[in-house]
Structure 1
């Protein structure tokens, strides 16, 4: 080791405690004890104790969670954490760096800040952590309008994650959240809906701010309505995040989702004034009208028993409020997108349904299925009683 390197190391050892002492004086009184702890643990660093470095890392993470730590994060990382970052667990290192990056003055500064950290974890042994770092950097790239670059990052990270049997939940959460942000920027409602629901499966919704929950629920509701191939809202309707719209200005949107899921055209028409005030829904009114008709058709089929799936055009017209002449086109659409399977009898104007797309049911639909099972059970009991009475000794044997 050269003399100049030794000198530089001595200077760092000397300057870090002073830096921490200076920062402690600047910090709010209730945060000052963190800097005292940092200084105490750092001064014991001569003892290369894994437990000590772990404690120091945990205190940094805890400090960064404090609401008023924001102005200190970048400096603490650059002047303090960077000096012993090789001792930190790679996931913890990236987690700390991401907290600091969020406090940079603009999106480009955040991207620049993260590049050295990404390089440090781009190794064969830390590819899972690399995904976390590069996806969070992609979040800032989206802010800069670099959508093409973000899509390449997403594709590369998806392949990496597919190669793991399991990874930390936080890594999957990051991947799905940033993917959802990308698809939202591209108005890709179907892929946004899928990614956003997967993101919610990776996080505790109760830990989100009220504003974030409302925004997430609103975006998911709009994606469900506008997504070309989304005809089952059950998973969203049963998710607690949707309750965040209750008693807000978007409460009608929650009602609209239940209306669609139940195929209730009457309620859909009653909500028309709300739709007319939402430009995106108004622009897609024709698609929404077709979707509510299709969902009305699905619900009508679903309500029928398995042995009663031959439906006259006239009944479908009544359910969907279409003319009889429009029924065939509607059923053909349902068959083409695999909502139903069956056939159309054009001569007798009948639809024979052999299969209906499986659905995630909301509570009212589950209750309807319960009633069907009770009716079926009662019918079985009646038949059993009848056979017992008519069969006499033969049945008893």
Structure 2
């Protein structure tokens, strides 16, 4: 039977499925690889006793076996279909997702999961989301981006309504959403969803190649994403360390340049052969320079005390950001319009008064800056207390 026919049978009403599972299980007990035969014996025992939960757990152990991949779809077709209504719906979708990878082509896998998702919509919302997002994964592969976006939007609304979801569901949603925005070259949306995907999985679940690809794509999207001016969360994530020794360590170093406002390091990297091999970055150099100037401005404001922020001269900003004095006002207005800072510009005296700077995920150096500022503040408070105590003592002596 072809996969196409299997999908057609799945669309049929459940009561029309009528077959005897025992001959299939008996045959597999003798013909399956030696390391898998015990599972088929166990399947028969549990099925005979109608122990559906234990049978589901046994299936999960079976899927984990390295040699089980090619056996998953026949197992579904000739065994699981008979009792899948008794199976935990989320466990069922996890099995079907894995089995779909063994179908001959992405279009056939898409049709298969579409039928499964349709049957789950009215019975299990969380399982439906998982099935729909895995279906959307194949929609991306066959380049049906409109259908993929429709599934993303629908599932996002369902997830917003669910009080709690398992990590596997969140991981599937954010993985597919990130891949969709990657295909659309929507860097800020990719950056957001890719980070959420990483928060939903353990890095041990990803191959070394996948970790390096994710780190590379996150770095590119951080640099090119409009509105992305805080790299702290990415810089602290261990996935970025996978770029070390991969030929893309320069990209990792560039992120640190932007985060700290290190213009000299940026200029050096941007002239390197590795950078010049990246057309996306080379074509975006003017944008990158402006972004670096804005992030340098943020860092300059952040490092200052509240008092010194209240009066930053155009000359100081020009020196920090390396823009001409005549361009400082435009740079500050850009930062204000992006809500990176809040404050006022005194054009006459050429002074910027900053009252607020965008909150940041801090690296160790920036945490050190806060520590030094707190130490300075603590010293001022101590001096003030001692001064008040001295004045109080002098007053008492005078009254005596």
Q: Per-residue deviation at 1:206?
A: 2.5
Once the two structures are superposed, residues 267-311 of structure 1 have per-residue CA deviations (whole angstroms, 9 ceiling, x without a partner) of: 111211132221111111111110001000110010000011111
Aligned to 1:60: 59
Aligned to 1:249: 247
Aligned to 1:48: none
Aligned to 2:84: 85
Partner-residue secondary structure (3-state), 1:42: helix
Aligned to 1:49: none
Aligned to 1:170: 168
Hey, what's the Cα distance between the residues in 1 that align with 2:330 and 2:218? 29
Hey, what's the Cα distance between the residues in 2 that align with 1:212 and 1:186? 20
* Structure 2 unaligned residues grouped into runs of 5+: 1-14
- Work out whether residues 342 and 354 of structure 1, in 8 Å CA contact, stay in contact via their aligned partners in 2: yes
1:109/1:290 CA distance change after superposition, 3 Å: same
Superposed counterparts of 1:84-123, under 5 Å: 84-123=83-122
Partner-residue secondary structure (3-state), 1:104: coil
Aligned to 2:341: 340
Q: Per-residue deviation at 1:25?
A: 4.2
Once the two structures are superposed, residues 160-196 of structure 1 have per-residue CA deviations (whole angstroms, 9 ceiling, x without a partner) of: 1222222222212211111111111100011111111
1:82/1:350 CA distance change after superposition, 3 Å: same
Aligned to 1:262: 260
Aligned to 2:281: 281
Once the two structures are superposed, residues 8-37 of structure 1 have per-residue CA deviations (whole angstroms, 9 ceiling, x without a partner) of: 95xx33xx3332233344443323322221
Hey, what's the Cα distance between the residues in 2 that align with 1:63 and 1:80? 14
Q: Per-residue deviation at 1:358?
A: 1.0
Once the two structures are superposed, residues 236-257 of structure 1 have per-residue CA deviations (whole angstroms, 9 ceiling, x without a partner) of: 1112222222222121211111
Q: Per-residue deviation at 1:318?
A: 1.1
The partner residue of 1:31 within 19, 31, 36 is: 36
Partner-residue secondary structure (3-state), 1:175: helix
Structure 1 residues 351-360 or 378-387, which shifts more?
378-387
Q: Per-residue deviation at 1:40?
A: 2.5
Aligned to 1:299: 299
- Work out whether residues 121 and 130 of structure 1, in 8 Å CA contact, stay in contact via their aligned partners in 2: yes
1:340/1:27 CA distance change after superposition, 3 Å: same
1:258/1:73 CA distance change after superposition, 3 Å: same
The partner residue of 1:189 within 187, 190, 211 is: 187
Root-mean-square deviation (Å): 2.1
Q: Indicate whether 1:17 and 2:16 are aligned.
A: no
Hey, what's the Cα distance between the residues in 2 that align with 1:276 and 1:353? 37
1:241/1:8 CA distance change after superposition, 3 Å: closer
